[in-house]
Amino acid sequence: MSRRSAPLAAALLAAATFAACAKGDTHRAPATTGDSAASPGQATADSTTAGGEVAASSAGAPGGGRAPNLNGRIPVLEYHVIGGEKNAMYTRTVASFKADLEEVYKRGYRPINMSQLLDKDFRDVPPGMSPVVFVFDDASPEQFSYLGEAGKIDPNSGVGIWLDFAKSHPGWKNRGTFCMLNGGAAGHNFFGDGPKFKGQQKAWRFQKVQWLNQQGFELCSHTLWHARLDKYSDAVVQEQIARNVMGIDSAVPGYRVRSFALPYGIWPKNRALAWSGSWTDPKSKKTVTYKFDDVMEVSGGPTRSPYDPAFNPHSITRIEAVGDDIRKTLERLDATNNRFVAK
């Protein structure tokens, strides 16, 4: 969510104290200097689950066959809740989300993770086509829910829609970046932490996070409960981020979190703490350090290419999935011939 989400922000804040005191998970100190294991998904067993196919030629595919442009811009799309009756600032209906997927597909975009963008890893984008990064903020149950039992993915949750879309759209892989909360209100805790929130169970949280990683999606930090980082001391800022990274590490031990999305797009007073810092757990006395390779803002349009000399990974701009903004942005990129095209 961005700075315009006052009601949800208030709700998140209201639950924060409780979340901060009530968390009983055991955490391991995350690896901070880990080698980049099986890229891009960091899944240990079978990282080729979704990415093993060779990128096919784009000749003849809708939107493909363009001249390479490695300095062009890359759309990074920002989603919050997927569902509801009508579109709002932080809600994209199922119908609109499906339409967005169709729109980018027919224009010749293929999904990659933010970490792949950083690494100039465009293996999942056939030559003549363009990368797009889908980013899902806040870890709401609407993004990823189970129907009644663990592992049975709700076809109307964001992930279920994504999987269905992939079945009928060749070349559409499980790539996307989930910037998660692990102690937010309203079930914004690894996609739902109780039956009140779309019937989700607390015990399913880690399984969902693990599944995302195994499938090739990227796990990204978004703080513990969505604190407005400019309002807090350096110590609290680092605690908010470190405890989020600890939570991800509890679900997927050893996972190196590389991406961070600023809550509300608001920087802490000490900017550098958004990408690097540490916090010592008073209980275990363990120090958790974090060092992100990128920081995502809330808006700002399509982001620069990693080949662009002005590319700044600590300021990745995004396009909020609001109204017609995505379609208009893609149209503008084509009209100005300023679109990244893989070679």
- For binding to Zn ion (CB under 5 A), which residues are involved? 1, 137-138
Are the CB atoms for 296 and 259 separated by under 8 Å? yes
C-beta closer to Zn ion: residue 3 or 286: 3
Are the CB atoms for 333 and 75 separated by under 8 Å? yes
Q: What is the largest CA-CA distance in the chain?
A: 59
Amino acid (one-letter) located at 269: K
C-beta closer to Zn ion: residue 219 or 341: 219
C-beta closer to Zn ion: residue 217 or 260: 260
Contacts of 266 (CB under 8 A, 6+ apart): 3, 228, 229, 230
Q: Provide, rounded to whole angstroms, the least separation between the CB of residue 135 and Zn ion.
A: 10
Instruction: HSE, CB side, 13 Å, CA atoms: give it for residue 118.
Output: 21
Q: Provide, rounded to whole angstroms, the least separation between the CB of residue 2 and Zn ion.
A: 7
Are the CB atoms for 113 and 217 separated by under 8 Å? yes
By CB atoms closer than 10 A (0-12, 13-18, 19+), residue 75 is: buried
d(CA 268, CA 65): 43
Q: Provide, rounded to whole angstroms, the least separation between the CB of residue 92 and Zn ion.
A: 14
Strand partners, 277: 290
The encoded tokens of residue 187 equal: 């079930």
Q: Provide, rounded to whole angstroms, the least separation between the CB of residue 10 and Zn ion.
A: 14
C-beta closer to Zn ion: residue 249 or 297: 297
- Measured CA to CA in angstroms, residue 37 lies from 44, 126, 257, 266, 290 at distances of 7, 23, 12, 31, 17
Are the CB atoms for 89 and 137 separated by under 8 Å? no
Q: Provide, rounded to whole angstroms, the least separation between the CB of residue 227 and Zn ion.
A: 11
* DSSP letters spanning 241-299: HHHHHHHHHHHSTT----EEE-TBTPPPSSGGGGTEEEEE-TTT--EEEEE-SEEEEEE
Q: Provide, rounded to whole angstroms, the least separation between the CB of residue 179 and Zn ion.
A: 7
C-beta closer to Zn ion: residue 137 or 297: 137
> Which H/E stretch holds residue 131?
strand 130-137
Q: Provide, rounded to whole angstroms, the least separation between the CB of residue 138 and Zn ion.
A: 4
C-beta closer to Zn ion: residue 200 or 223: 223
Q: Provide, rounded to whole angstroms, the least separation between the CB of residue 304 and Zn ion.
A: 22
